Structure 1
Amino acid sequence: MKIEKANITDNETLTEITKKSKAYWGYSEEQIRKWDKNLTISQDYIRLHNVFKLVDNDLIIGYYSFIFENDKTVELDNLFVLPGYIGKGFGKYLLLDFLNRMKGIGIEKITLDSEPNAAEFYSKMGFVKVGEFESSIKNRFMPIMEVKL
């Protein structure tokens, strides 16, 4: 198993992982379609951002991506794992790789907008909720979380 920089040709696989992972939380196919634009990882996205994939025997099972807000703060933009791998430590493996990568380049703070169902995972990994905003689904609030390194 290895984590490596994603290729632009991985975009369709990463999009599939994103949509399947999101659907894991019980969202309807209709809702996933409504979010299609937000859940699509384009070749341009991979070209313009930092995207790292988790590969197991030539199968991409998860990935993360991040965006520099400034020279000391990074936003974790995506972290998704195929549903069959959720709850087995692969999300933690990806997140620890990301955190170590950020520590190695002197980042002091990481922010993210969490899927409400994933907030507990991030809390266990040291992130704290610093706010929230209502999503496109009425009465569904997205936690804004951060961790200081």
Structure 2
Amino acid sequence: MIIQKASITDHEVLTEITKKSKAYWGYSVEQILEWDKNLTISKDYIRDQNVFKLVNDNLIIGYYSYVFKEEKVIELDNLFIFPEYIGNGLGKYLLLDFLNRIKETNIEKIILDSEPNAEGFYSKMGFVKIGEFETSIKNRFMPIMEMKVIG
């Protein structure tokens, strides 16, 4: 298994991973369609952002992406794996690669908006919930999480 920079030709499979991974949490087909714009990974997004794919036997099975925000802040924008690979430590593998990749920067804080069902994963990995916001689904709240980076 290797993690490498995604190319713009990966946009369709990354979108498929995102939508299938989101659906894994029990959201309806209608809900996934409603979120289509937010769950689509475009060629432009891959070109303009930091997107890294997890490849196993020449198949892309997951990815993560991050965006530089303020001067010393990065947002972990996406971290998704095909559902059949969830629970095998690959989310941790991707997250540790991300943390290692930014280690040599001047970043002091990582922020993310967590899928509510993934909050426990991020907490175990050292993120702390600092807030939340209501989503398009009534009474569903998206945790806002952060991790301080020690240089």
The TM-score normalised by the length of structure 2 is 0.97
- Cα distance in 2 for residues equivalent to 1:101 and 1:108: 14
Q: Which residue of 1 aligns with 2:76?
A: 76
- The residue correspondences of 1:1-149 to structure 2 (distance < 5 A) are 1-149=1-149
SS of match in other structure, 2:103: helix
Report Cα offsets for 1:13-66 as digits up to 9, x if no partner: 000000000000000001000000000000011011000000001010100000
Tell me the amino acid that sits aligned with residue 73 of structure 1: V
Instruction: Please report how far the alpha carbon of residue 70 of structure 1 lies from its aligned counterpart in structure 2 after TM superposition.
Output: 2.5
Instruction: Point out 4+ residue stretches in structure 1 off by more than 3 angstroms.
Output: none
Point out where structure 2 has 5 or more consecutive residues left out of the alignment.
none
The alpha carbon displacement at 1:103 in A equals 1.3
Partner-residue secondary structure (3-state), 2:88 = coil
Which letter maps to 2:105?
Answer: I
Q: Deviations over 1:54-105 (max 9, x none)?
A: 0001010100000001231100000000000001000000000001111122
Distance 1:105 1:2 in 2: 22
Matched letter for residue 137 of structure 1: I
TM-score by length of 1: 0.98
Displacement of 1:106: 2.6
Identity %: 75
Higher mean displacement: 102-111 or 125-134: 102-111
Letter in 1 for 2:112: L
- What's the Cα RMSD here? 0.6
Aligned residues between the structures:
149
Structure 1's unaligned 5+ residue stretches are none
- In the aligned structure 2, how far is the partner of 1:96 from the partner of 1:21? 19
One-letter code aligned to 2:23: A
